[in-house]
A and B are shown apart, each in its own frame.
Chain A
Amino acid sequence: MITTLLRRDLGLLLPGGRGGGGILPLLFFMAVAMLYPFAVGPDAQLLARTGGGIIWVAALLAAILPLEKLVTGDLETGVFDQLHLRGVSEELAMASRLAAHWLSFAPLLLVATLPAAALLGLDSATTRTVVLGLLAGTPGLAAVGLMVGALTASLRGGAALAGLMVIPLAVPILIFGAGALSTAGNGGIALSAAISLCLCAIAPFVAGAAIRSAREG
């Protein structure tokens, strides 16, 4: 059952899937990395010092882009109602959606971090910290996105609101993940991973409850 669900969710969200626009977060992410040197000028030292932070901000904002498609469509077409009648809990459906959401944007972003780091002139140690930090932090970003997406799914204009709501909730991940760039050691990355784990653990329950409450509304 879970494989059937996951297969459908991946088909919906993966780049080239039927949801469309799966490649958009990646393009957005690369566009930020390309524009930033134009905006601050060709000072290589400045770029290398601030580039890691910019990659983090770009990744966070890119993770917001697919939120609209995450829950809204299936809520409107009654997919969750039909799943409920078949004894598939909203939590299970959301856990599968969380996995599919992360798989649809994070691996691509991690790969794209390498050319982005090259564009910004980051050294290999910094690039490694950024990639590891994103690996630790993106599951948390996906979880926040899913929760907010489910909470705003039944609202008019929910997509714009979702974008705004994700940002403050993602700040802890950003602080520790990007903070690892300026502190020695892997403490920041570890904390970022811990927050991610926590968020991933609660996300299916929060999102599931949101769907049930939208159904009653």
Chain B
Amino acid sequence: MQARLAAKDIACRRGDRLLFRGLSIDCASGDTVHVSGANGIGKSSLLRILAGLLRPFAGEVLQIGEVGFVDERLALDANLPLGQALSFWERLDGCGEPGRALALLKLEPLMDVPVRYLSTGQRKRAALARLLNRNCPIWLLDEPLNGLDSEAQAVFETLVARHCEGGGIAVVASHQPIALGSPLVVDLARFTA
């Protein structure tokens, strides 16, 4: 199935502030988008709008295909061991082979560690495992590199490249440079109101 993610002329308002306006993007299968911009410029809000979690102040969003979303919030139960916390989402997503994502992200030694003891980078890898287990075509990733070491960063870049080669869409918001092949760059500074 062809995935598609399009936003037409969207604007975002948070409180009294208009963060950006007039932003349009159109991604088809295989596209990678890098959303860049300074802190507080509205990268996270843009991703939440694209995910359908936030209503845009103006404009509209079209999604064809399921959306996987990773931000700084882990959605894993802090008191449970990582394995059990992930297994809830595996069951919900009907994931057949959770072991693959765990091996890719080197999470196997951490399966018995309660989620609250994980480091920032480990938490990020856990969130990515939840995303991989779901097998959805559209990836929306908010600051996925935060806390990842250089090895994990390389793994992440490979994962995104492979996902897009396989017909997926990846939208990555990050203030850091990422090696993403040839991404479409959306610099939010150009759309500030």
Contact = CB atoms under 8 A, between A and B. Distances in A.
B51 interface: yes
Contact of B75 (A1, A20, A82): A82
B117 interface: no
B128 to A, nearest CB: 13
A12 B77 CA distance: 9
Nearest to A76: B73
Interface residues of A, number: 21
Contacts of B130: 82
Contact of A215 (B54, B68, B69, B80): B54
B53 interface: yes
Interface majority SS (helix, strand, loop, mixed), chain B: loop
Given A82-B69, A84-B53, A8 B74 contact: no
Contacts, number: 53
Interface residues of B, number: 25
Interface string B64-78: 001111010111111
Interface string B59-91: 000000011110101111111100000001101
Interface in A44-95: 76-79, 81-86, 88
Contact of A77 (B55, B68, B78, B89): B78
Contacts of A43: none
Contact of B74 (A1, A77, A86): A77
Given A77-B74, A85-B67, A4 B54 contact: no
A18 B77 contact: yes
Contacts of B93: 86
Contacts of A82: 69, 75, 89, 130
Contact of A216 (B54, B77, B91): B54
Nearest to B114: A18
A74 B93 CA distance: 18
Contacts of A88: 92
A1 to B, nearest CB: 7
B92 A86 contact: yes
Contacts of A216: 54-55
Contacts of B181: none
B54 A77 contact: no
Contacts of B51: 81, 85
Contacts of A76: 73
19 contacts: A4-B92, A5-B92, A12-B77, A77-B73, A77-B74, A77-B75, A77-B78, A78-B71, A78-B74, A81-B53, A81-B69, A81-B73, A82-B130, A83-B92, A86-B66, A86-B92, A86-B93, A215-B54, A216-B55
Interface of A: 1, 4-5, 8, 12, 18-20, 76-79, 81-86, 88, 215-216
In order of increasing CB-CB distance, the 9 nearest A-B pairs are A78-B73, A18-B79, A82-B75, A78-B75, A79-B75, A4-B91, A8-B88, A4-B92, A85-B67
Interface of B: 51-55, 66-69, 71, 73-80, 88-89, 91-93, 130, 134
